[in-house]
Amino acid sequence: MARIIAGVTSSHVPAIGAAIDNHRTGEPYWQRVFEGFERSKEWIAKAKPDVVIGVYNDHASAFSVEIIPTFALGTAAEFPIADEGWGPRPVPVVKGHPQLAAHIAQSVILDEFDLTLCNKMEVDHGLTVPLNLMFGTPKEWPCPVIPLAVNVVQYPPPTGNRCFMLGKAIRKAVESYPEDLKVVVFGTGGMSHQISGQRAGLINSKFDHAFLDDLTKNPKKLTRLSHLELMREAGAEGVEMVMWLIMRGALDDKVDEVYRFYTVPASNTAVGHIILENRIRGAKKSAVKSPSKSKKPTPKLKRAAAAQKIQRIRS
């Protein structure tokens, strides 16, 4: 049986992709961001998912105002990298898992979530940047990725509650797939940001931290946030965070938060990242070590934790 072992959230700021592509990750501004994902890369290398379900939003790359699917599941074998105006990013093509994707489509649609199925779809920074943050810059992505594109660009996006319920349906689908696969769900976008209008540049760290706390402990509360509340608190583009609730809905009610990272800003955006593990009976706890609990935290880690508010909640 396939099972969802963990969920990951991460921002998808396109300038992070540009920093990688232009070899600028060592500059202090960017180092601050990338350092926060070093432990995450170690975690995922150990977790070794067989498949990632990447919940992200398309930024008028595969779709446009002509066609606006609310939930679009990538059922293809491959997803080419979109040209977002300056050529496709030099990252590996995203390889899908058509069998599992078709199974999810059948299960979820029969559960009354009317997905759009995409047998052909290009993917943009919304998906590729989180893949880079978690996997670095390999020649090939280490596992198949099933993209799930959510409309959060053109009003009306789906509600947080609908997203959470879809996550539950996806979990049911995964758990009825006969092959023994370990699946990690990525919820991407956010955190607070607004890139145009009078409030351009808005960041609300207080809201972001509370959102991260509730994501782990009280996600139901987040499902009750209206779009207006989300946008008022987290900026117009902060509404991307409804996508995180798909990831959260796919996990157990009670999860272990094994890692958290938050830094501001990257471009216009607050970068928020969390790793939540399902509690699998009899399984060993996560490999992400808490510097506060490990005997000898390295000076580098101590510095990073202090400077960048890295919080490792559990070992």
Chain contacts with ligand DHB (rule: CB under 6 A) = 12-15, 59, 193, 195, 237, 267-269
As measured in angstroms, the least distance from the Cβ of 148 to ligand DHB is 17
As measured in angstroms, the least distance from the Cβ of 153 to ligand DHB is 9
Active site residue 193: yes
- Of 259, 310, 260, 258, nearest to 280 by C-alpha is 258
CA 256 – CA 278 distance, rounded (Å): 7
As measured in angstroms, the least distance from the Cβ of 239 to ligand DHB is 11
As measured in angstroms, the least distance from the Cβ of 268 to ligand DHB is 3
Which of residues 82 and 100 has its CB atom nearest to ligand DHB in the complex?
82
Which of residues 49 and 235 has its CB atom nearest to ligand DHB in the complex?
235
Write the burial class of residue 159 (CB in 10 Å: 0-12 exposed, 13-18 middle, 19+ buried). middle
Active site residue 59: no
As measured in angstroms, the least distance from the Cβ of 315 to ligand DHB is 32
* Active-site residue, selected from the candidate residues 103, 125, 227, 273: 125
**HEC sequence for the chain:** CCEEEEEEEECCCHHHHHHHHCCCCCCHHHHHHHHCCHHHHHHHHHHCCCEEEEEECCCCCCCECCECCCEEEECCCEECECECCCCECCCCCEECCHHHHHHHHHHHHHCCCCCEEECCCCECHHHHHHHHHHHCCCCCCCCCEEEEEECCCCCCCCCHHHHHHHHHHHHHHHHCCCCCCEEEEEEECCCCCCCCCCCCCCCCHHHHHHHHHHHHHCHHHHHCCCHHHHHHHHCHHHHHHHHHHHHHHCCCCCEEEEEEEEEEEECCEEEEEEEEEECCCCCCCCCCCCCCCCCCCCHHHHHHHHHHCCECCCC
* Active-site residue, selected from the candidate residues 12, 97, 103, 193: 193
Q: Which residues make Cβ contacts (< 8 Å) with residue 104, sequence separation at least 6?
A: 53, 73, 146, 170, 173, 174, 177
As measured in angstroms, the least distance from the Cβ of 230 to ligand DHB is 14
Which of residues 195 and 210 has its CB atom nearest to ligand DHB in the complex?
195
Which of residues 105 and 129 has its CB atom nearest to ligand DHB in the complex?
129
Which of residues 59 and 168 has its CB atom nearest to ligand DHB in the complex?
59
Which of residues 39 and 89 has its CB atom nearest to ligand DHB in the complex?
89
Active site residues: 125, 193
